[in-house]
Amino acid sequence: MHGITSTFMVLLCTFLKAESLLFHGQTNVSSSASSGQSDPDVYKQLLNLERDLISIMRNQKQQAQKFEQKQTLLEGEIQSLRQWNQTAQMKISLLESENKNLKERLENINSSSTLLKQNVTTSEDLRKLENILTFDTEQTVRDSEEKMMKNMSATITDLELRDRYLSLSLLDVHSNMTILDHILSKLMQQQKTDKEQQNMTIQNLSLSLLNLHIYTPVLSSSFSSLDAQQKRMKSEIQTLTNSQQNEITKLNDTIIHLKNRVQFNVAFTAAAKTGHTYASGDTVIFPTVMYQVGGGYNPTTGMFTAPKAGLYLIFCSNVGDHHKSFWTQIMINGSPKVGVMAFLGGPVTVTQSASNLVVYQLQMGDR
Domain carrying residue 293:
267-362
Give the single-character DSSP code of 171.
G
Pair 192, 292 in one domain? no
Would you place residue 6 in the very low, low, confident or very high pLDDT band (cuts 50, 70, 90)? very low
Percent of the chain's residues with pLDDT above 90: 17
Pair 30, 107 in one domain? yes
The per-residue DSSP string of 328-359 comes to: EEEEETTEEEEEEEE---SS--S--EEEEEEE
318 inside domain = yes
pLDDT at 367 over 90: yes
pLDDT at 22 over 80: no
Q: Residue 111: how many CB atoms within 10 A of its CB?
A: 20
Its pTM stands at: 0.32
Counted domains in the chain: 2
pLDDT digits (tens, 9 = 90+) for 133-155: 556 566 666 776 677 677 777 77
Q: What pLDDT score was predicted for residue 336?
A: 92
350 inside domain = yes
Pair 229, 287 in one domain? no
Would you place residue 179 in the very low, low, confident or very high pLDDT band (cuts 50, 70, 90)? confident
pLDDT at 174 over 50: yes
245 inside domain = no
Would you place residue 363 in the very low, low, confident or very high pLDDT band (cuts 50, 70, 90)? very high
Give the residue, 171 or 46, on which the prediction is more confident.
46
Q: What pLDDT score was predicted for residue 9?
A: 46
Give the residue, 336 or 12, on which the prediction is more confident.
336
pLDDT digits (tens, 9 = 90+) for 294-352: 999 999 999 999 999 999 999 998 888 777 788 899 999 999 999 888 877 766 667 77
Give the CATH number for residue 354.
2.60.120.40
pLDDT at 4 over 50: no
Query: What are the C-alpha distances in Å from 350 to residues 17, 139, 173, 321, 347?
Result: 181, 121, 164, 9, 9
Give the single-character DSSP code of 363.
P
Question: Phi, psi at residue 37, to the nearest 5°?
Answer: -120, 25
Q: What pLDDT score was predicted for residue 306?
A: 95
Pair 214, 336 in one domain? no
Q: What pLDDT score was predicted for residue 15?
A: 44
Q: Where among 234, 252, 281 does a domain terminate?
A: 234
Least confident window among 1-15, 34-48, 208-222, 228-242 = 1-15
Mean pLDDT score of the chain: 76
Q: What pLDDT score was predicted for residue 331?
A: 93
pLDDT digits (tens, 9 = 90+) for 45-93: 788 888 888 888 888 788 888 888 888 888 888 888 888 878 878 888 8
Pair 210, 96 in one domain? yes
Cα of 26 vs its chain's centroid, Å: 94
Would you place residue 293 in the very low, low, confident or very high pLDDT band (cuts 50, 70, 90)? very high
List CB contacts of 353: < 8 A, sequence separation 6 or more.
Answer: 317, 318, 319, 320, 342
The per-residue DSSP string of 79-140 comes to: HHHHHHHHHHHHHHHHHHHHHHHHHHHHHHHHHHHHHHHTT---HHHHHTBGGGGGHHHHHH
Pair 132, 227 in one domain? yes
Per the CB < 8 A criterion, the answer to whether 205 and 94 are in contact is: no
241 inside domain = no
Least confident window among 9-13, 237-241, 298-302 = 9-13
Q: Say which amino acid occupies 174.
A: H
Q: What pLDDT score was predicted for residue 43?
A: 79
CA-CA distance, 89 to 111, in Å (whole number)? 33
Q: What pLDDT score was predicted for residue 118?
A: 60
pLDDT digits (tens, 9 = 90+) for 184-210: 788 788 878 877 877 887 887 777 777
The residue ranges of DSSP E strands in the chain, in sequence order, are: 267-271, 288-293, 297-298, 303-304, 310-319, 326-332, 335-342, 353-362
Instruction: Tell me the mean pLDDT in the region 283-301.
Output: 92
* Length of the chain measured in residues: 367
List CB contacts of 130: < 8 A, sequence separation 6 or more.
Answer: 105, 106, 107, 108, 109, 110, 112, 113, 212, 219
Per the CB < 8 A criterion, the answer to whether 252 and 244 are in contact is: no
Would you place residue 20 in the very low, low, confident or very high pLDDT band (cuts 50, 70, 90)? very low
pLDDT at 285 over 80: yes
pLDDT at 169 over 70: no
CA-CA distance, 323 to 352, in Å (whole number)? 8
Pair 123, 38 in one domain? yes
Q: What pLDDT score was predicted for residue 41?
A: 77
Q: What pLDDT score was predicted for residue 165?
A: 67
Pair 41, 136 in one domain? yes
Q: What pLDDT score was predicted for residue 17?
A: 44
367 inside domain = no
Give the single-character DSSP code of 170.
G
Show contacts of 205-214: CB within 8 Å, 24+ apart.
205/95, 205/98, 205/99, 205/102, 205/137, 205/140, 205/141, 208/102, 208/134, 208/136, 208/137, 208/140, 209/102, 211/133, 212/102, 212/105, 212/106, 212/130, 212/133, 212/134
pLDDT at 281 over 70: yes
Pair 68, 140 in one domain? yes
